[in-house]
Structure 1
Amino acid sequence: MIGELYEEALQGHAPVEIEHADGQRRPLPIQDWLALRPGDGGLLARCSGTTLDVGSGPGRLTVALARRGVPVLGIDVVPYAVALTVQAGGPALCRDVFGLVPGTGLWRTALLADGNIGIGGDPQMLVRRVLGLLAPGGRVLVEVGPPGSGSQIEPLRLRAPGRVGEWFEWAQVSVEAIHGIAAGCAATITGTWQEADRWFVTLRSLTSCPAKGPCPARPS
């Protein structure tokens, strides 16, 4: 149901909301994911070498990088989002970051934009996994919450008129909290920047950790 409601939102067939466990709701920000928006410029400019866009959605960043001549691949678990990326000219595959990912150990840059640090509800495990996909010296560009925004792991679900999806775990990570996550992954923060009220950090691994094959510790 999560994928179905997400696909419907991408198609514009139904208004879809994100529902929190306390009952609060907010619109699923589909428009932010369909076209380049303020703050994307600095993120794209920092992508060098082979780039993996994790949770690429409909592919605005993947497509923009491909048009710039950057070797890029988007991965997402929703087939329709992957199809939109390919139709727009961006290379993308339907893959789970915790599963088999092409080019493991060879990527120079990985993206965790648009709050994708929250994937799986365990940001430290996610960062460790993504670092393991990189070539030695590679880096992860992570979008984080602004100072003082707090960090938490919470259940969310998607809701459309007359239908609700299953609960799933999602994490929110502030720019302060990413320091502890980096330390727990034997990584260091080598850069922080702000653009258009969005905050980003660059992570590099302190050790060589080629995570070959699927991750055995994917959350249930």
Structure 2
Amino acid sequence: MTAAAPAPAWASDAYAAALRSGRGPLFLRGADGRRLPLDVERWCARPAPADLTVLRRCAGSVLDIGCGPGRMVAALARAARPALGIDTAPAAVALTRREGGTALLRSVFQPLPAEGWWGSVLLMDGNIGIGGDPAALLARVRRLLAPGGLLLAEAAPADVDERLDVRLDPGGPGPLGPPFPWARVGPSALRTHARSTGWRPTGQWTVDDRTFLAFT
């Protein structure tokens, strides 16, 4: 495995400012000009009812990949559950720690603590798109989990399967961030990518128009 440095895109001033204020606008902007909204308000709030359905399914120690400002990690910490968040944005890691969670400034493709021993891994909020290669990400997650461990992933609301280069767009004054690879993966495509990398689907559910899948 080649270690990858934290992505500079998520260290941008626009992302840090949005997290500090707890609100957008903030978008992922594709090369074709399409803007995909990022739900900063939800990320910075306490876990929503849909998030709670994921938290209730977590087993053992939990690794939250792309934890953002840490709502999931902090909720687990409040429940005295062992959890670690990782993120490539310094502002996200700082906010997670401020909320009482444990977090590291780290890419999922860098060496991580307790590799092969995590009970559950979370890929929330579109984070199946990290790196722009869902199969590579899912293969990496398999190496992080303990035997029989649980992956809980959020799919895109539409049944899409696309790779794209995007930039962070503050939706107003201010420059676009540097380009980086991303992916959007709906439920059917997520199951296909998961099976191709050795995962077995064990559940799917939808709450408030958000769809989640579980794999072992």
Task: Quote the offset at 1:87 in angstroms.
Answer: 0.8
Contact 1:131 1:139 in 2 (8 A): no
Contact 2:24 2:39 in 1 (8 A): no
Q: Choose the corresponding residue for 2:159, options 149, 167, 180.
A: 149
Q: Choose the corresponding residue for 1:16, options 26, 39, 54.
A: 26
Task: Quote the offset at 1:194 in angstroms.
Answer: 1.3
| Alignment-derived partner of residue 132 in structure 2 | 121
Deviations 1:107-146 (A, max 9, x none): 0000001110000000010011011101111011010123
Change (3 A) 1:193 1:27: closer
Structure 2: state its 5+ residue gaps.
1-7
| Alignment-derived partner of residue 115 in structure 2 | 104
Q: How does 1:1-220 map to 2 (within 5 A)?
A: 2=9, 3-4=11-12, 5-12=14-21, 15-35=25-45, 36-146=47-157, 148-160=158-170, 161-204=173-216
Partner SS, residue 177 of structure 1 = helix
Task: Quote the offset at 1:24 in angstroms.
Answer: 2.3
Return the letter of the residue paired with 1:46. R
Q: CA RMSD in A?
A: 1.6
Report % sequence identity.
45
Partner SS, residue 188 of structure 2 = coil
Q: Greater share of helix residues, 1 or 2?
A: 2
- 2 CA distance for matches of 1:24 and 1:49? 40
Partner SS, residue 28 of structure 2 = strand
Change (3 A) 1:31 1:138: same
Task: Quote the offset at 1:37 in angstroms.
Answer: 2.2
Return the letter of the residue paired with 2:156. G
Q: How many residues align?
A: 203
TM-score, length-scaled by structure 1: 0.87
TM-score, length-scaled by structure 2: 0.89
Deviations 1:7-26 (A, max 9, x none): 12212398433212211224
